[in-house]
Amino acid sequence: MKSMKPWLALVVALLGITSVQAADMDKTNVIRDYTDTVVPAGQQAYEAGVKSYNHCLSQHGYKYTWTALTHETGDTYQYSYVSAPYTWADFDAMHTAGNACDQTWRTEVNPHLKSETSAFLVHMPELSHLPNGMPLTSALTEVTYFKLKPGHEASEAFTNVAKKITAAAEKSNWSGHYMIARVQDGGQGAPNFIVVSFSKSWADLGDAPSPSLWKMVESTYGKQDTDAMRKSLNDAIQDQSSHVDSYSADLTYPTPGK
């Protein structure tokens, strides 16, 4: 059989991608993240502006949930706002519902910002180990960014190893937990994947699961295969960083108890 013409192969590939995306449209697995970097001297005014914005949303019957997080490590003048998991179509309705308060954000929050970034996070349950489900709120959230080397091979290596780790965690009923999401449309320099874990306190965060992650994997696959998995993962990663965020009830929408 003659090889498929390049343009035809591209069409077939695009049709395949489109069908997968269409199948995912109704899944409640998309999270949006905004991260604000604040001028230090304007921190108090910034928080007051966010509260005014949330009040405006409440007055207009806005029904979507945003969890506010303040960065405890890394750049501590940063705040992140993470939506609940929604479908892609929900973000169209969310955009329309929030229009009435856009001017409040521009006038009361923007003057105190150094910058703002946004990205979509697509939750990947097949790569995640959350025996008790994803918590609605958590006192502390540890976020690890993974920027991969260019090319399909690095992404495939990362997801293959993550799937094997998750399979081992589920088989062994591992006490650790994590959520993995693919970062979409995060802009230049954005990570490709994030790994998130949740803790009730600093003591809880520092209490590492036993056995450790790689010891748990080794008990399932053996040392030789585990070493090969670690090498494959390390070879795929270009950069990695972590930070810890704390939950802010005051800046969350809707504010708990109101």
Q: What's the pLDDT at 136?
A: 80
Q: By the 8 A CB rule, do 174 and 216 touch?
A: yes
**Structure tokens, 166:** 């998750």
Which string of b and e fits 151-189 if b means at least 16 CB within 10 Å? eeebbebbbebbebbbebbeeeebeebbbbbbbeebeee
For residue range 179-215, list pLDDT tens digits in order. Answer: 999 999 999 999 999 999 999 999 999 999 999 999 9
> What domains, with CATH codes, occur in the chain?
29-253 (3.30.70.100)
Residue 182: HSE in the Cβ half-sphere, 13 Å Cα cutoff: 13
For residue range 205-227, list pLDDT tens digits in order. Answer: 999 999 999 999 999 999 999 99
As a whole number of angstroms, the distance between CA 221 and CA 201 comes to: 32
Q: What's the pLDDT at 140?
A: 98
Asked whether residue 249 carries a pLDDT value surpassing 90, the answer given is yes
As a whole number of angstroms, the distance between CA 249 and CA 6 comes to: 54
Q: By the 8 A CB rule, do 83 and 90 touch?
A: no
For residue range 11-47, list pLDDT tens digits in order. Answer: 444 444 444 444 466 789 999 999 999 999 999 999 9
As a whole number of angstroms, the distance between CA 217 and CA 165 comes to: 6
30 burial class (0-12, 13-18, 19+ CB within 10 angstroms)?
buried
**Structure tokens, 234:** 């390390």
CA 119 vs. chain centroid, Å, equals: 9
Asked whether residue 233 carries a pLDDT value surpassing 50, the answer given is yes
Q: What's the pLDDT at 24?
A: 64
What does pLDDT average to over the chain? 91
When pLDDT is averaged across residues 163-177 and rounded to a whole number, the result is 97
Residue position matching structure tokens 């150094």: 114
Q: What's the pLDDT at 206?
A: 96
Q: What's the pLDDT at 9?
A: 40
For residue range 113-151, list pLDDT tens digits in order. Answer: 999 999 999 999 999 999 988 888 899 999 999 999 999
Full 3-state SS string of 28-97: CCEEEEEEEEECHHHHHHHHHHHHHHHHHHHHCCCCCCEEEEEECCCCCCEEEEEECCECHHHHHHHHHH
Q: In the chain, pLDDT over 90 holds for what percent of residues?
A: 86
Asked whether residue 247 carries a pLDDT value surpassing 50, the answer given is yes
For residue range 64-116, list pLDDT tens digits in order. Answer: 999 999 999 999 999 999 999 999 999 999 999 999 999 999 999 999 999 99
